[in-house]
Structure 1
Amino acid sequence: MSKKSRLSWFANDDLSITILSLLPSKILHHLKLVSKDWLNLICDRTFITAQLKKTEPVSGFFYQEVFQFTTTENKQSISYIPADVQNSKIWPDVLGFLPEYVVVLSLDNGLLCCRNCFPTSRPKIYVCNPLRKQWATVEWPKNYDVSRDSIISLSFDPFRDPIDKSTNFQLVAVSEIGKGDEDGNISEYWILFDIYSSETGSWRRSNECCVSKHGLVRNKKVILRGVSFWLTEGYGVLMFDIKNELSWLVSGPLPLDEFAGVPEMCLGESGGKLHYVVVCGNGLQLWALEDHFEPTWELRVNVPLDILEKKNPDSLYKLSDNMACGLAPAWMTPLAFKDGKLLVRVSVKMYLYEFETGRMKKLCNVSTLGPTAIFSPIVVPYAMSLVPLE
């Protein structure tokens, strides 16, 4: 076959392109090494747009320990935990391609949003594709505090904003202004939103303002189809629609006093809907938000602790007794959920729980993730993407 024929082979074989576009990003990333033709095809924006139609499985979790009682952030605290239980190797330096050490902020459709470590004289935000090792740098918003408690979310929706010519994304920086009562206690929070657009390369303050009795839990968030969701300290959810610049508060699935003991929870996404995972004395519960405005929560799964232990005798021992002790940190904590898979810490071990089978599989010991990895970590589920950031 001549060189010219080989170069035009893909262009004339729609069936081959269709078949390749059905493969997951991880496999396609390795297939780029087959030949220059394959490299050109797999890196082509038209092909990537077609491949995005396939739902990517969860490949793993970015896990970052948080040092709460020091002024300097740990610069080597990010680990990658593969969701493949056959490969339990923990990757400690997956973001080493970035120009400096970072703190993970959020993730959406395969792109990861981070900031540089504090203290620093030049705060920056990085939006990167870990698979392709590409990134874009965003300057810190001028009217936004330089704080370790920064709440910044990435919104990247290739279906609403096609990537055939360029990769466009938006960022939302949330400001919480506490309002005190006569006794000096914070009685409510005014929540403001700054929006960045990669198309304009600039930040602007939204006119939207939300008033909440509770602050936000900065490391418990989900971005879904252009809407950011944050868990509040009152166990509710704050939502912000970046396209329409609308925010609203949604109460949790149940009042707090209906849970047995102190609940541990996280937010997640499955089937295009927001999910709310709860672990408490009642068991393991999975709720789906069916209607944002009512709000209407549907209980999808409810597994009592004794049934959970019976199905996983090698992973769970005297679960009810240990949960009832009320120790801090909690004996069992859900950390991240996506597409039916839950990353959960039980005592000093990390497990992957699959709701479909009801089985737990050990991934690693918490100690392999860092000396303080057990306390309020930043965890985001990751599905690979071929989307370029050039």
Structure 2
Amino acid sequence: MKMIKVDNNENEGCLNTDVIFDILSRVLAKPLLSMKCISREWHNIISNRSFIKAQLQNTKLDLNGFIVQDRYMISKRDIKTVSYIPVESKNGAKVVHQMVFGFLPEDVVVLASCKGIVCCRSCLPSPNPTIYVCNPSNREWIQLKWSPPCDITESIALAFDFDFEPSKFKLVRVKCIELNNNEDEGDFFFTFELYCSETKAWRKSTEICNCKDDMIKNRGIYIGGFLHWLTEGDQILTFDVEKEMSLLIPVPVPPANELRIVAACIGEYEGRLHYVQVSEQGLHVWCLEDLFEFKWILKDCKLLENFEVEYPRFFFNLKNRVLESSEDTTNPWMNPLCFKDGKLLIKVSAELYIYDMKKDKMVHACSFLQLKPQSMSHPTVFPFSLTLVSLKDA
């Protein structure tokens, strides 16, 4: 019978890696979390770092749901309510959860989500602003100091990869600074600060990126060593985490250039950056085939009329409503919120739907009012996947 040494400083010894180990390592994280309760032996196996590493190598990380939170109000006070919308239905109806981060010591604002690990910060105002990096699946968390000045508008993105050493991650804080001189009025530039879990310290990068637009939806997406932010203009801000170099990627245009873009978001699918846009014609999903040549490929196109025909219970007079609201950039009638693994969470009027691009299927997720919003404008949305990754040694 094969034996391996347990890779755990607290538990020295040997772990029996027989058929049970091999079978369980091929099971997805969600059922494994319940299987921990079967016996002490299974709990020890599933909690072991060697098992977690094998399970990550043998299984695919599935999208389990979306984390939704209102953006700060005009008063510059954070909104505390955080909601979780599961992808899978329970008894035909999706249940919205609102205590996902109840294990943390205070109310938080979600900043980033990457491969099951979530970065949050204290709700402001706060006497002791703190950043939390946590795994809601196993309720583990660590905290680090949020160095001043604490700006409610700044964006902190999370770079985490299973290829890294266990529990190692980086945070990238990007600040948008507006130029005040008359010549460059209305222009911005971005600066970057990095936190490494190994050094446990922040440092400022020498990289600066000039841009004419601020960021939109304030959310960074990590894909293959690069972080991406969608700007309010026609570009995507991209930052190479290792080389600390930035570039601006022009977004693709609809098939007919005269069509107005109503709303857009970026996301990840099959390890590539995707750009999702709603235009006066319909829904377009683009894939970035080449990062440096800015080559986009149209992967999916769905006319607004087709949505009406296929889902008459959901949509009525959709195209006209989208056209009528095309001037309202704060609350468009049809607003793509988050795209991950071929699934798009999209807000249409006051309802939320999940569109599965692979299956060409639309399902109703919930009413936007179920999230207890304090405004009807752009919420911040993050994809979430269950994972067994431990943060104990971070």
TM-score above 0.5, yes or no: yes
The range that moved more, 28-37 or 356-365, is 356-365
The range that moved more, 174-183 or 359-368, is 174-183
Look up the match of 2:27: 23
- Is 2:49 the partner of 1:50? no
Q: 1:158/1:288 Cα in 2 relative to 1: closer, same or farther (>3 Å)? A: same
Look up the match of 2:372: 370
- Is 2:65 the partner of 1:60? yes
2:268/2:341 contact within 8 Å kept:
yes
SS in 2 for 1:17: helix
Look up the match of 2:115: 109
Deviation at 1:370, TM superposition (A): 1.3
SS in 2 for 1:149: coil
2:157/2:219 contact within 8 Å kept:
no
**Residues 124-135 of structure 1 aligned to structure 2 (within 5 Å):** 124-135=130-141
Deviations along 1:178-215, whole A, 9 cap, x unmatched?
113427832x2221111001101111111111111111
Deviations along 1:252-307, whole A, 9 cap, x unmatched?
01289925234211111000000000111121100001111111011001111112
SS in 2 for 1:320: helix
1:220/1:266 contact within 8 Å kept:
no
Q: 1:210/1:203 Cα in 2 relative to 1: closer, same or farther (>3 Å)? A: same
Deviation at 1:65, TM superposition (A): 1.4
2:151 to 140, 147, 151: 147
Task: Return the alpha-carbon distance in structure 2 between the equivalents of residues 74 and 60 of structure 1.
Answer: 21
Look up the match of 1:354: 356
Tell me which amino acid in the other structure corresponds to 2:283: L
SS in 2 for 1:288: strand
Task: Return the alpha-carbon distance in structure 1 between the equivalents of residues 79 and 190 of structure 2.
Answer: 29
**Alignment gaps of 5+ in structure 2:** 1-12
Task: Return the alpha-carbon distance in structure 2 between the equivalents of residues 357 and 255 of structure 1.
Answer: 23
1:49/1:162 contact within 8 Å kept:
no
**Residues 1-390 of structure 1 aligned to structure 2 (within 5 Å):** 11-13=16-18, 15-53=19-57, 54-75=59-80, 77-86=81-90, 87-142=93-148, 145-159=149-163, 161-163=164-166, 167-182=167-182, 185-186=185-186, 188-254=187-253, 258=257, 260-326=259-325, 328=328, 329-372=331-374, 374-390=376-392
1:277/1:286 contact within 8 Å kept:
yes
Tell me which amino acid in the other structure corresponds to 2:176: E
Q: Normalising by structure 1, what TM-score? A: 0.91
Q: 1:58/1:235 Cα in 2 relative to 1: closer, same or farther (>3 Å)? A: same
Q: 1:363/1:373 Cα in 2 relative to 1: closer, same or farther (>3 Å)? A: farther
Q: Quote the RMSD (CA, aligned, Å).
A: 1.9
Task: Return the alpha-carbon distance in structure 1 between the equivalents of residues 254 and 24 of structure 2.
Answer: 48
2:177/2:188 contact within 8 Å kept:
yes
Task: Return the alpha-carbon distance in structure 1 between the equivalents of residues 382 and 258 of structure 2.
Answer: 26
Q: 1:122/1:12 Cα in 2 relative to 1: closer, same or farther (>3 Å)? A: closer
1:220/1:267 contact within 8 Å kept:
no
Percent sequence identity over aligned pairs:
36
**Alignment gaps of 5+ in structure 1:** 1-7
The range that moved more, 317-326 or 85-94, is 85-94
Tell me which amino acid in the other structure corresponds to 1:331: W
The range that moved more, 27-36 or 50-59, is 50-59
Q: 1:173/1:80 Cα in 2 relative to 1: closer, same or farther (>3 Å)? A: same
2:217/2:379 contact within 8 Å kept:
no
Tell me which amino acid in the other structure corresponds to 2:28: P
Deviations along 1:79-98, whole A, 9 cap, x unmatched?
11111133511111110000
Deviations along 1:335-381, whole A, 9 cap, x unmatched?
11111111011111111111122221111111110133531111001
2:213/2:233 contact within 8 Å kept:
yes
Tell me which amino acid in the other structure corresponds to 1:60: G
The range that moved more, 356-365 or 25-34, is 356-365
The range that moved more, 83-92 or 330-339, is 83-92
Task: Return the alpha-carbon distance in structure 2 between the equivalents of residues 40 and 201 of structure 1.
Answer: 29
SS in 2 for 1:309: helix
Deviations along 1:93-120, whole A, 9 cap, x unmatched?
1100001100010111110001001112
Deviation at 1:125, TM superposition (A): 0.6
Deviations along 1:67-89, whole A, 9 cap, x unmatched?
422232232x1011111133511
Q: Normalising by structure 2, what TM-score? A: 0.90
The range that moved more, 325-334 or 192-201, is 325-334
Task: Return the alpha-carbon distance in structure 1 between the equivalents of residues 272 and 347 of structure 2.
Answer: 24
Task: Return the alpha-carbon distance in structure 1 between the equivalents of residues 26 and 262 of structure 2.
Answer: 40
Task: Return the alpha-carbon distance in structure 1 between the equivalents of residues 342 and 376 of structure 2.
Answer: 23
Q: 1:201/1:67 Cα in 2 relative to 1: closer, same or farther (>3 Å)? A: closer
Poorly superposed stretches of 4+, deviation over 4 Å: none
